[in-house]
A and B are shown apart, each in its own frame.
Chain A
């Protein structure tokens, strides 16, 4: 099967003044159609860097990232991708309705279809009541929901979500999980990053574990989980042990 996302030998570095940080030391991974891929690793592992390269915000020093068989960040691909940034703020002077209209128009969605789509994505993320509230008056959790709404406004085939759970309370996490599962059921391919391996990550079909710019392991979640009996409590421990072993 042809992968939807294919990352090959990706190298990336940051330069701040004279200092150079190697953020990615040659990572490779693949994500297939219809699967939920969890990109898991501690803070500073290189997850956001990888995603930023996928979207064309950053340029790799070596290697390449491909989506649907072409340069991952091509304009054509962007019509088919939904992206939730790790931290994003949305124009505070707009309302959810206005910002979704603006983004929807960039996707060239026809006006009547767009209006229906806006109502439906706002309902999905539970922001219907805030449709016309200035974004500056939304809480942090609501902003995160708006982030998800804008990520699905174009009914994308691939979702790239950078730490979708960060900043969400337990109920929010549960809702996020349900939304992601629902998207999977609609045949979407989902690539999301997380710095923890807890209950929510159980929905992944496969996980890639990244630490210090290197992929430690890519495997089916049940292969990791299968090694222990009581799932949830120990997952986090396995994750930590795996990283510690490699670092040692």
Chain B
């Protein structure tokens, strides 16, 4: 596993040297500031809007960071041929996959924590405070970033960078915002295709389990610990499955 950590550090180093993360950083901080100012000047429901929009922005931007960083890892190693000297070293293909996942998870989590830090400072400046459910929401989003990183790394063993980014972002949007609507719709029509789609929907991880944003906005009390534990186990199981599939595919691949 030490080898995986070395690969993860390489992912982090690469991301720091590239500019896109800084662009996303500035972009999201700018958006959050606009939201913060807008809700400062309006009178009612202000903090709620600020929390809701900020959470939305942070969620999207950090998922995009995970997808963009994760999807390019394997394709870039192959295209630039850096994979050849690397894989001649005592490094298992599984360690390569795990390392790439770990690096992607760390980068996206780090960005997320920085954004959250800024968000919490702005929250304090509005006289609001950090609630228990917010802490739970932060934890679950980190899990979600790790899960999405594993999906992206797994897919990178199967498809090109561009296809991977498209599929992953679509999956995130569908899973989050209209997944429920689709599954309700499928329940109503009983065709074979609907059955297949429902099965797929059933097998794939449900990202909405990781979303506490509504509860955070409406100031709910923290959810029970068993819920958090169950969702954590759920994430760990899926992450393991995706990393396993990615490793098996990558092992079979000729470089």
- Whether the pair B84, A56 counts as a contact (CB closer than 8 A) is no
Kindly state whether residue B182 has any CB partner on chain A within 8 Å.
no
A113 close to chain B: CB less than 8 A:
no
| Cα–Cα, bound, A106→B88 (Å) | 10
**Chain A residue at minimum C-beta to C-beta distance from B84:** A85
| Segment of B2-10, B221-229, B232-240 engaged in the interface with chain A | B2-10
B191 within 8 A of A: no
B69-123 contacts to A, CB under 8 A, are: 80-82, 84-92
Find chain B residues with CB under 8 A from A57 CB: 84, 87, 254-255
| In the assembled complex, A59 has its CB within 8 A of some CB on chain B | yes
Task: Note all chain B residues with C-beta closer than 8 A to A147.
Answer: 85
| A81-96 contact mask (Cβ, 8 Å, vs B): 1 or 0 | 1010101111101100
Known A78-B89, A102-B10; contact A90-B254, beta-carbon cutoff 8 A: no
Asked if A9 lies at the interface with its beta carbon under 8 angstroms from chain B, I say no
Residue of B with least CB distance to A92: B80
Is the pair A58, B254 in contact by a Cβ cutoff of 8 Å?
A: yes
Minimum CB–CB distance from B83 to chain A (whole Å) comes to 8
Closest approach, in angstroms, between the C-beta of B250 and any C-beta of chain A?
12
CA distance A78 to B85 in the complex (A): 11
Instruction: Say yes or no: B91 contacts A59, CB within 8 Å.
Output: no
A1: min CB distance to chain B, Å = 26
B87 adjacent to A90 (CB under 8 Å): no
Chain B residues, CB < 8 A from A196: none
Q: B82 to A90, Cβ gap below 8 A?
A: yes
Assess whether B85 is in contact with A88, with CB atoms less than 8 Å apart: yes
A106:B91 contact, CB within 8 angstroms: yes
Interface residues of A in 40-87 (CB under 8 A from B): 52, 55-59, 75-76, 78-79, 81, 83, 85, 87
Interface residue? B17 (CB, 8 A): yes
A147 to B254, CA, bound (A): 22
Q: Which of A79, A103, A107 contacts B85 (CB 8 A)?
A: A103
Q: Do B88 and A55 touch across chains, with their CB atoms under 8 A apart?
A: yes
How close is B158's CB to chain A, nearest CB, in angstroms? 18
Q: Does B14 contact A (CB under 8 A)?
A: yes
Give chain B residues whose Cβ lies under 8 Å from the Cβ of A88.
81-82, 84-85
Select one of A52, A56, A83, A91 contacting B82, CB under 8 A: A91
Is A105 among interface residues, defined by CB-CB distance under 8 A? yes
User: Looking at A55, A56, A88, A94, which has the most chain B CB atoms within 10 Å of its CB?
Assistant: A88
In the bound complex, residues from chain B placing their C-beta under 8 Å from that of A75 are 90, 92
CA distance A57 to B253 in the complex (A): 8
Alpha-carbon separation in the docked complex, A79 to B2 (Å): 15
**Bound-complex Cα distance A56 to B253 (A):** 10
In the bound complex, how far is the Cα of B3 from the Cα of A79, in angstroms?
Answer: 13
Per the bound structure, the CA–CA distance linking A107 and B3 in Å amounts to: 9
Cα separation A233 to B223 with both chains bound (whole Å): 83
A144 interface residue (CB < 8 Å to B): no
User: How would residues 1 to 35 of chain B score, 1 for a CB under 8 Å from any chain A CB and 0 otherwise?
Assistant: 01100100110011001100000000000000000
Within 8 A of B (CB), among A160-187: none
Instruction: Report the separation of the CA atoms of residues A83 and B84 in the bound assembly, to the nearest whole angstrom.
Output: 9
Contact residues in B for A59 (Cβ distance below 8 Å): 254
The answer, yes or no, to whether A194 is at the interface (CB within 8 Å) is: no
Residue interface mask B120-134, A partner, CB < 8 A = 1: 000000000000000
Inter-chain contact B85/A87, CB cutoff 8 Å: no
Whether A83 contacts B85 by the Cβ 8 Å rule is yes
A108 CB within 8 Å of chain B: yes
A85 touches B85 (CB 8 A): yes
Is the CB of A31 closer than 8 A to any CB of chain B? no
Most chain-A Cβ atoms within 10 A of its Cβ — which of B84, B87, B88?
Answer: B88
Please give, as numbers and ranges, the residues of chain B lying within 8 Å of A189 by CB-CB distance: none
- The reply to whether B89 and A91 form a contact with Cβ atoms under 8 Å apart is no
The interface residues of chain A lying within 8 Å CB-to-CB of B92 are 75
Whether A91 contacts B14 in the complex (CB less than 8 A), given A55-B87, A58-B255, comes out as yes
Instruction: Pick 26 A–B contacts, CB within 8 A, sort by A.
Output: A55-B87, A55-B88, A57-B254, A57-B255, A58-B255, A59-B254, A76-B90, A78-B88, A83-B84, A83-B85, A85-B85, A87-B81, A88-B81, A88-B82, A89-B81, A90-B85, A91-B10, A91-B14, A93-B13, A93-B17, A103-B89, A106-B3, A106-B89, A106-B90, A106-B91, A108-B90
Query: A52-B255, A78-B88 are known contacts; what are 5 more A-B pairs with Cβ within 8 Å?
Result: A85-B84, A88-B85, A89-B80, A91-B82, A105-B6
User: Which 9 pairs, one residue from A and one from B, show the smallest C-beta to C-beta distance?
Assistant: A93-B17, A83-B88, A57-B255, A106-B89, A85-B84, A78-B90, A58-B254, A89-B80, A75-B90
